[in-house]
Amino acid sequence: MLIKKEIQNIARKIHIYVSMFVLLILLFFTFTGVTLNHGDLFVKSNVEAKSEIIKIPHSFFSSKKNIENLDEDKLLEYISDHSDVHGVASDLQVYTQYKNEKILEGDISINYKSPGYDAVVYIDLKTETAEIEMTDYGFIAKLNDLHKGRNTGIFWKLFIDMIIVLITILVLAGVCLLIPKNKVMNNALKMTFLGGCVAVVIYYYFIS
């Protein structure tokens, strides 16, 4: 009996502190669940597009050797420092055509992505200029992408995984608290079964 009481006390503490830890995060995912489900009401129909042109230093493309052994990190750093572009950059897509070791034509394209935002950088190797097209889809689109873990990077994805684990622990702690209360537990199991049935019926009759 003492062991059961101790387990109950631990479960109660877990339930209290974990629920308070995830409270605001769950409210965030609840709100963004609504904005995702009713995107036509929340997401801007007119996105904000912006473009700019910057000059890339000649040293990056001064020879065939430099182009073929391009320091990608330095190029990306230069673009970030001299423009408004941000987000996670894709791999560089490089196209070149040479004649007698001299470049006839060539370009580099890079895609940048972050929540609610994307950008395309097109570098002309002949003119050594970068044309940048940036699109901001708005604040709600940013929240929606955070909800989905889209274009967020590894740390936000790990954070979402951690929240999933904590919610699972929260539910299990709640069940543990119900176990000694037979009547409440029976009613709770009926509600669990009912909720599952409602989801299955809606899927079977209205979706599949």
Strand, coil or helix: what is 50? Answer: strand
Whether 33 has a pLDDT exceeding 80, the answer reads yes
pLDDT tier at 166 (50, 70, 90 boundaries)? very high
Nearest to 85 by CA among 58, 54, 56, 55: 54
pLDDT score recorded for residue 153 = 87
Q: Which of 76-80, 86-90, 136-140, 182-186 has the lowest mean pLDDT?
A: 182-186
Whether 3 has a pLDDT exceeding 70, the answer reads no
3-state SS of 88-102? Answer: EECCCEEEEEEECCE
pLDDT score recorded for residue 182 = 83
Mean pLDDT of 158-165: 96
pLDDT score recorded for residue 70 = 87
Give pLDDT tens digits for 45-72: 778 899 999 999 988 887 788 888 888 9
Residue 166, number of CB atoms within 10 A of its CB: 17
Residue-wise burial string across 26-41, b where 16 or more C-beta atoms lie within 10 A, e elsewhere: eeebeebeebbeeeee
pLDDT score recorded for residue 2 = 46
pLDDT tier at 163 (50, 70, 90 boundaries)? very high
CA distance 148 to 128: 37
Q: Measure Cα distances from 89 to 83, 115, 124, 167 in Å.
A: 14, 13, 18, 33
CA distance 44 to 140: 8
Give pLDDT tens digits for 114-140: 999 999 999 999 899 999 999 999 899
